[in-house]
Every structure is written in structure tokens, then in C-alpha cells.
Amino acid sequence: MTSENAAKPGRRGAEAASENTQPPVGPPRRGRAPVVLPPGLAAAHAAYTAALARTPLSAETRRTYASKVRTYLAWLDTGEVDGDPLIDPAARDWAVRDYRTHLAAVAKRSNATINNALAAVDDFYTRAGLGAAKAERLDLPSVAPRALTGKAVLRWLRAANAVDSVRDRALALTPFYAGARIAEVVALDVDDVRLSARKGTVRFYGKGGKPREVQQHPQLREAYAAWLTVRAGWPGADTTPALFLNRRGGRLGVRGASAIFAAILDAAGLDDDGSAHVLRHTFATTLVRGGTDLVVVAEMLGHARLDQTRRYTLPTAADRYKALALLPVDR
């Protein structure tokens, strides 16, 4: 089972959309309402979320797993399944394999996304006592993780530095200059950021709650210093330890942070090319291809195994396009 970062005690995942530099007033924006399940499937989902609540997984991981399992159960309600997948192991295997096909052929999800969905479904069945389904994972492409390159990097940086919100700028620069996951960024507390006259460090809590400390890039240090000054005037500044606050004075959550990243990427004309995680990949790709030792990069990313970091040495889609450009034509 995979997990995201484990949140430190006392941290919570309140979510909000992007705001301006000064905390605005008004009701927060809300995401789409969850799919309504019929009573039997709703009861199964409620039992699963109750079981998740008793695990040491982070709040974000629990939310993600619960959401993916709800989507699977909603598909069971509308799909053509044989037998009862909630009690019959054979029916479970058939249903999960058909769901895998649905995600690939109908929903057009990537192999990585499909495998993540299957991991959540396996967790659901395992906690229900039925065991993981016999459904093979899909092969992942042997290319480097997608990252911004060339002019796309400059376009994104310009858009990030052009936002009016001091908070949003500091938030946006964190994955790019520190290689953090979005869940790690919103989990930051004020005391995780240390600033001196010329330097600074930031402490992240990665998978399993494992801490790591990363030196602050000068641009990130400048953004943090500016946000900490402005933050003092926000609701919750004296009562909430979170570094990044939402409009209600609570901790900014993953959904709210994702909306901020999406807005900046859209402003840069990169809405189809990136996300917060692509910025983390950009950080890693830049360091690895710049000659930084893989062990150093692995430590900065919080990777437990070097195999995870070696992915950034694989060819990218851009590399393959460049290779094709070497071939001559006769016109």
C-alpha cells in the first residue's frame, strides 16, 4: 500500500481556494459533491472510511483512498458486473479487472493513475476481509517523469512571480525550489521554516512522517520572508501553526493549494502541461541533468530508494522528439 506524507500531530487539512494578499471575506468555494451511492454500497463505503480513520495514514492519504473507492463503488452501481463483488472473491476479481479496463478504455486514465486506483481498491477489499483482487498492474512507461523544460520553465516562473498574493507566490515556489510534494507543502508549520540573515532551511515531513531538511534557494527564502511578514495580519496567525493559512484562519488544504497552482499554470499557458507534482519533477530533473549526485537529490526529494530518483535519468518525450529530428528528409 502506498501512502502520502503523514501529517504532524495537530495539523488538519482545511481546504480553500486561492485568495489575494489580504484575506478576503465571503463563503469558500466548494468542490463537486461526491457521487451518491445506493444504501448497500454507501454502507460499505462508510465502513471503509471508518476503518481508514483508525490507521496511521495521513489525512490526505485517507481522503484520497476514500475518494477512489467511492468512485469504484459508483462504477459497480452502474457497471455490468457478474455476481456480488463485495462478498464473492471470483466476482471481486472480475469486477476489478473490468474496472481496470474501464479506466483505460473509457475514462482514458494513465497507467500510473489506474495503478493508484487499483491500490485503493485493494486496500478497500483487504480491510473488508476479502483480500486484494487478482488483477495485474499496468506497465509504466520507461520515460522520465514529466517536467517543465526550456521556455515553459521561464513562463511558469514569470507567472508565479506575477501573482498579487504574497502567500500564493511562496506556496507556488516551494515545489519548484525545494522539490516538495503538495501534501508536504500544506503540512508546513511556521516553525518548519528557519531564516537567517542570508540563508534558510525548510523542514518537510514525507512518507511515513520522515522529516527532511532542505536548504532554501534565495528566491524561496525571499518569498518566505515576505509571506511571514504579511501572514501576521491574517486571521488565525496567532492561533494556527500552519505556514499557509486559508481565508478562515485555518490551514490551507491540498484542494485549495491545487486551485492556486492551477490558476498560475493557466496564466502561464501551461494548463495542459503541469501541476504541483510536475514542478517537483522539474526540480528533480533539473538537478539530475545538471550533474547533481543522485544520493543528494534523493535526500532532497525524500526518496527511500535510489531507484525512485534514477527515473529522472531516463529519456523524456522531448528527448525522443529531438532524436527524430536528426533523421534526414528528401523533398
Cell of 148: 517543465
Collapsed DSSP state (helix, strand, coil) of residue 285: helix
Residue written as grid cell 479487472: 97
For the question of residue 289 being annotated catalytic, the response is no
For the question of residue 303 being annotated catalytic, the response is yes
For the question of residue 310 being annotated catalytic, the response is no
For the question of residue 248 being annotated catalytic, the response is no
Exactly one of 62, 63, 92, 181 is catalytic; name it.
Answer: 181
- Measured CA to CA in angstroms, residue 55 lies from 58, 64, 218, 256 at distances of 8, 14, 39, 25
Exactly one of 63, 68, 207, 212 is catalytic; name it.
Answer: 207
The CA angle 165-274-228, to the nearest 5 degrees, is 25
In contact, 120 and 65? CB cutoff 8 Å: yes
Exactly one of 146, 155, 277, 310 is catalytic; name it.
Answer: 277
Question: Which residue type is seen at 126?
Answer: T
For the question of residue 102 being annotated catalytic, the response is no
| Sign of the torsion formed by the C-alpha atoms of 94, 99, 104 and 109 | negative
- CA–CA separation, 165 vs 170, rounded Å? 9
What is the chain's alpha carbon radius of gyration, rounded to the nearest angstrom? Answer: 22
For the question of residue 321 being annotated catalytic, the response is no
- CA–CA separation, 271 vs 259, rounded Å? 11
Active site residues: 181, 207, 277, 280, 303, 312
